[in-house]
Amino acid sequence: MSSRILAGRYELLEKIGDGGMAVVYKARCRLLNRFVAIKILKPEFTKDAKFIENFRRESQAAASLSHPNIVNIYDVGKEGNINYIVMELIEGEVLSNLIKNSGQVEWRRAIEITKQIASALSLAHKNHIIHRDVKPHNILITKTGVAKITDFGIAKALNTSTIGDNTGTVMGSVHYFSPEQARGGYVDEKSDIYSLGIVLYEMLTGRVPFDGENPVAVALMHINEEMIPPSKLVDGIPPGLEQIVIKATNKYQVGRYASADEMVDALSNIEFVTNIVGNSVFARAKSPTGIDEEYEGEEDENMGESGNSKKLKKGGKDKKGNDKKKYKLNKVKVLAVIAALICAIPISYLLVSAFTGGSDANELTVPNFKGMSLEEATLDAETLGLEIEKGDLVFSSTYEEGLIVSQNPEAATKVKEGKTVKVNISKGAKEGTVPNIVGKSYSDAIYILEKYGYKKGSVTAAPNDMPKDVVISQSIDAGEEATAGSYINFVVSEGKSVEEVTVPLVVGMELNAAKEALEKAGLTFPSAADLVYERSDAYGQNQVMWQQYEQNKTVTAGTEVGLKISLGSDGEAVDPLAPKSVSLNINYSAAKNEIFYLTVVIADESGTHNAATAEMRRKSDESETITLHGTGKGSVTVTFDNDQVQKYSVDFTTGTLN
């Protein structure tokens, strides 16, 4: 590919990966003269402001993690409508490819890889970061054999094979997510442990434990079905290692390892003891139900060579005349899974029509493929059950070379499952016609003009709702004829016009009153660390004694106003805005069992963290009061055995709970 410079320093060299949400390029950082990997979010995800904000926030949080088994994030940024993450370039192989090529991973090697990833997750969990999408596709193996996990920053993002949580945010790939993710329930660190257990299972056996015709079927298997023990599929797996897989993938969070560190310890014990005395030291593996007997799980007669079930059986007799285990659908669980899918994955037209009583369960709505690459369209089409056929190469001034210009059938057309959509591909603007640069970033516009033989003319800026430096008009319209070498003038957005506000007088006010006055005026109150405290005989304790900008001065909206706060004549600094603790009374009457597990989750301005995590309680103790700590406003959720029983709004600034 032709070199392209991003953010003035990253020279894109070649595409090395293409997923559902982003494209990955190998690039060279000109500033530090090193090779990096740059993940660029696909255009279809750049229109959702909330998505982009979550993407940036999660990426920045992940960048704070420094661990030998986590792919380093060097930079997060945006140029025009391009959102990107700059990461460590890993020379090696994706674990999913390693499993695919080798069939399965030797169990000692599988233990080592799992330990490394669990160690990485341990650090993330201690920093209140949950990955939510642990799978072989997000694990890289370097040439020296080191395992590194990636995609912390994109784990909450949209994927066509994912299902969401109760917030509508997509979390986890269908074959690897936990039962609580399938139900749209509360997700915590143990959800990552479950997914890692599935990865370990796949490494040992070469296949995932659950597979079906669609995401709903797989989700129901995670909730209802017991997996076939690895030793039934592959000989030579130590029984103790099988028990680790079974414990990590327990249907209930409380039955799994309490932490990633605990799982690492269990794996280390397997390695240590097996290396010394062999497998005979381990007790015979129990079935997933906990009974010490040979597992009598049933393999579907419709399984292919991979062993993945392609059909859910309804009962009857097997070939030997024995009763088969019936597969029963729990209506409540089915509806929960479907609700999670519909809320979190708007692209799944097939699932919506199939489970909402449509007149034809096999009728699909054709999506709009225009502007996509052939690879992107093929991926989306396969997810929906459609086929893509490459049509003609045509000239286009609107769509860049390689992007889809038109399709047949058109978008929004109702078709049967398996229908082929023919797409025509742009081969760029016809020679002698001007390409379209409206909506492109400044640097992209220059690149496109030069590519088609034109030159950058005068560039002016004007206020506009479009992002800064995005082209809003061009002097010769796209598709018009112009001599090669002609100058094309264009106008870029300078962003929304800057709002100016007037600074109020806050000297003499108490700190809380000053904060309220500044924020009401559209200004920013300084953080606690930026407040300056000094003794004063003229002002009382916690009164503002100086402000950075004088009264009635005009400044840009959002400007931070520095303040000096009085300590009084002999006082010490006291921050009345510091977070306050909040007391929460929890009544046990809603518990369904005498012994139950309590979890209390706080979601505030600093993120999500637990005040209690799967702690055992007795209903007969009636109630308890716990103290909550947090920052700003948020919510607190109380669950008994994964059932939500209480939810409140909390304000740690005022110390109130509603």
Query: Tens digits of per-residue pLDDT, 39-49?
Result: 888 877 777 77
Angstrom distance (rounded) from CA 386 to CA 367: 10
Least confident of 204-208, 395-399, 411-415: 395-399
- Confirm if 8 and 27 have CB atoms less than 8 A apart: no
Which of the two residues, 229 and 57, has the higher pLDDT score? Answer: 229
Res 453 pLDDT > 60:
yes
Which range has the top average pLDDT, 2-16, 23-37, 160-174, 599-613? 23-37
Q: Compute the Cα dihedral for 134, 136, 140, 144 and give only its sign.
A: positive
Query: Which of 31-40, 102-111, 439-448, 602-611 has the least mean pLDDT?
Result: 602-611
Q: What angle do CA 288, 284, 252 make, to 5 degrees?
A: 25
The gap between the terminal CA atoms of the chain, to the nearest Å, is 57
Higher per-residue confidence, 468 vs 639: 639
Q: Given this model, what pLDDT does residue 155 score?
A: 45
pLDDT at position 58? 66
Do 333 and 385 contact (CB within 8 A), yes or no? no
| CA distances from residue 160 to 48, 165, 344, 434, 540 in whole angstroms, order as listed | 16, 15, 10, 36, 60
Distance of alpha carbon 209 from alpha carbon 225, whole angstroms:
10
Contact 486, 535 (CB under 8 A): no
Q: Which residue has the higher pLDDT, 431 or 491?
A: 491
| 491-548 confidence digits (pLDDT tens) | 998 876 667 889 999 999 998 899 999 999 999 998 776 788 888 888 888 899 999 9
Distance from C-alpha of 248 to C-alpha of 257, rounded to nearest angstrom? 6
Confidence bin at 607 (pLDDT 50/70/90): low
Q: 549 exposed, middle or buried (CB, 10 Å; 0-12, 13-18, 19+)? A: middle
Helix ranges (DSSP H) in 130-259? 179-182, 189-205, 215-224, 239-248
Range with lowest mean pLDDT among 322-331, 340-349, 608-617, 649-658: 340-349
pLDDT for the residue numbered 148: 94
Q: What is the mean pLDDT of the chain?
A: 78
Residue 156: pLDDT band (50, 70, 90) is: very low
| Identity of the highest mean pLDDT range in 192-206, 279-293, 500-514, 551-565 | 192-206
User: Which is higher by pLDDT, 308 or 333?
Assistant: 333
Tell me the H-state helices in 231-363: 239-248, 260-277, 331-344, 349-355
572 burial (CB, 10 Å; 0-12 / 13-18 / 19+) is: exposed
Global pTM value: 0.45
Place of tokens 């000094």: 534
Q: What is the pLDDT of residues 326-349, one digit of tens each?
A: 444 555 555 555 555 444 443 333
Q: Which residues pair with 173 in a beta bridge?
A: 162
| pLDDT-based confidence at residue 320 (cuts at 50, 70, 90) | very low
- Domains of the chain are 4-88 (3.30.200.20), 92-281 (1.10.510.10), 363-426 (3.30.10.20), 442-493 (3.30.10.20), 500-566 (3.30.10.20), 582-657 (2.60.40)
The reported pLDDT for the residue numbered 250 is 93
Span of 82-96, 416-430, 594-608, 617-631 with lowest mean pLDDT? 594-608
State the catalytic residue, choosing from 18, 48, 75, 133. 133
Any idea which of 73-87, 349-363, 372-386, 507-521 has the lowest mean pLDDT? Answer: 349-363
Most confident segment among 151-165, 267-281, 342-356, 374-388: 374-388
| For helices 260-277 and 189-205, angle between their N-to-C axes, nearest 10 degrees | 30
Weakest mean pLDDT among 169-178, 183-192, 307-316, 621-630? 307-316
Residue 138 CA to residue 131 CA, distance in Å, equals: 10
Asked whether the predicted pLDDT for residue 280 surpasses 90, the reply is no
Convert the pLDDT of each residue in 572-587 to its tens digit.
Answer: 545 555 566 788 999 9
Per-residue pLDDT averaged across 199-206, rounded?
A: 96
CA–CA separation, 493 and 470 (whole Å): 5
Provide the pLDDT confidence category of residue 116 given band limits of 50, 70 and 90. very high
Cα(114)–Cα(130) distance, rounded to whole angstroms?
17
Task: State whether the Cα torsion 619-623-629-635 is positive or negative.
Answer: positive
Q: What pLDDT does 157 receive?
A: 37
What is the spatial distance between Cα 136 and Cα 204, in angstroms, rounded to a whole number? 13
- Residue 341's DSSP bridge partners are none
Residue 595 has pLDDT above 90, yes or no: no
Q: Which of the two residues, 447 and 607, has the higher pLDDT score?
A: 447
Euclidean distance between CA atoms 229 and 243, whole angstroms: 9
Residue 634 · residue 611 · CB < 8 Å: no
Q: What is the pLDDT of residue 483?
A: 87
The b/e string for 255-271 (b: 16+ C-beta within 10 A; e otherwise) is: ebbebbbbbbebbeebe
Q: What pLDDT score was predicted for residue 3? A: 56
Which amino acid, residue 620?
A: S
From 287, 264, 306, select the one nearest 104 (Cα to Cα). 306
According to the model, what pLDDT value does residue 173 have? Answer: 74
Greatest mean pLDDT among 128-132, 254-258, 649-653: 254-258
Q: What is the mean pLDDT of residues 73-77?
A: 86
**pLDDT for position 330:** 56
The predicted structure's pLDDT at residue 286: 38
Active site residue 133: yes
Cα separation of 580 and 651, whole Å? 9
Alpha-carbon distance 544 to 261, whole Å?
49
Q: Look at residues 658, 626, 624, 619 and name the one whose alpha carbon lies nearest to residue 640.
A: 619
Considering 146-160, 216-230, 457-471, 611-625, the range whose residues carry the highest mean pLDDT is 216-230
* Sequence-distant (≥ 6) Cβ neighbours of residue 89 within 8 angstroms: 26, 35, 36, 37
The residues, ordered by sequence, that sit 6+ positions from 653 with a Cβ below 8 Å of its Cβ are 577, 579, 580, 632, 633
Tally of CB atoms within 10 A around 8: 9
pLDDT category, 487, cuts 50, 70, 90?
very high
pLDDT at 136 over 50: yes
From 135-144, 500-509, 565-574, 589-598, the region with the lowest mean pLDDT = 565-574
Q: What is the mean predicted confidence (pLDDT) over 351-363?
A: 44
Checking if the pLDDT of 61 tops 80, the result is: no
